[in-house]
Chain A
Amino acid sequence: EDKVVQSPLSLVVHEGDTVTLNCSYEVTNFRSLLWYKQEKKAPTFLFMLTSSGIEKKSGRLSSILDKKELFSILNITATQTGDSAVYLCAGCSVDETSGSRLTFGEGTQLTVNP
């Protein structure tokens, strides 16, 4: 059974701090690792990582994948109160017969205090 584990489950920081969120995965027929941000509604897409060692960046957010260690991190620099959300990591597997499938981790609840 595929498994995705995120840590920490909860994190409280002050504005301006830098945070690192962790995600480890065990996914058969692994294709990609995805990061989402979830506030009050459905998750919004942040990154999709398919290759090891190549950092993806979007503003203050960046992410990298290590396919040897089955691990990914999401970094947020100079955090703002608007970054407060649950950050979800998901492993995507693709199978010829059953198609694609996402397995989500439990999420990291990030709270950024002013």
Chain B
Amino acid sequence: GAVVSQHPSWVICKSGTSVKIECRSLDFQATTMFWYRQFPKQSLMLMATSNEGSKATYEQGVEKDKFLINHASLTLSTLTVTSAHPEDSSFYICSASGLGLAEPYEQYFGPGTRLTVT
């Protein structure tokens, strides 16, 4: 099956610093990648959708200058949380869909990155 990896799996950073999270599709070309955020005991909330080679589309209420998304290749998307604050502490999950999959619109999820901002 299609495999999506995320790195790091967890990160602790100090308030005011920036953190970059990588999402990779290992065995297929991810034309579209999605970034979700999940707070404790809540569901997944879509933050943004990115298509390879173009700018990400952000959901209402998500600050694009704070959550920088880059999808420069068909196998890699990055989410950078800039000037992180404690309220940005959350579980960040990426998913990918793309070419060569049995169901072209199916999303395959990465294992998630737990961010803690102190």
Residue numbers of A with Cβ under 8 A of B are: 31-32, 41-45, 48, 88, 92, 94, 98-107, 109
Q: Chain A residues with Cβ under 8 A from B105's Cβ?
A: 31-32, 92, 94, 99-100
Known A100-B97, A105-B43; contact A41-B49, beta-carbon cutoff 8 A:
no
Instruction: Known A-B contacts: A98-B57, A100-B105. Give 20 more (CB < 8 A).
Output: A41-B111, A41-B112, A42-B93, A42-B109, A42-B110, A42-B111, A45-B109, A94-B105, A98-B49, A99-B32, A99-B49, A99-B51, A99-B97, A100-B97, A101-B49, A102-B44, A102-B95, A104-B43, A104-B45, A106-B43
Q: Chain A residues with Cβ under 8 A from B111's Cβ?
A: 41-42
Interface residues on chain B, number (Cβ under 8 Å): 23
Q: Chain A residues with Cβ under 8 A from B49's Cβ?
A: 98-99, 101
Give A100 to B95 CA distance when docked, in angstroms.
12
Q: Chain B residues with Cβ under 8 A from A88's Cβ?
A: 43-44
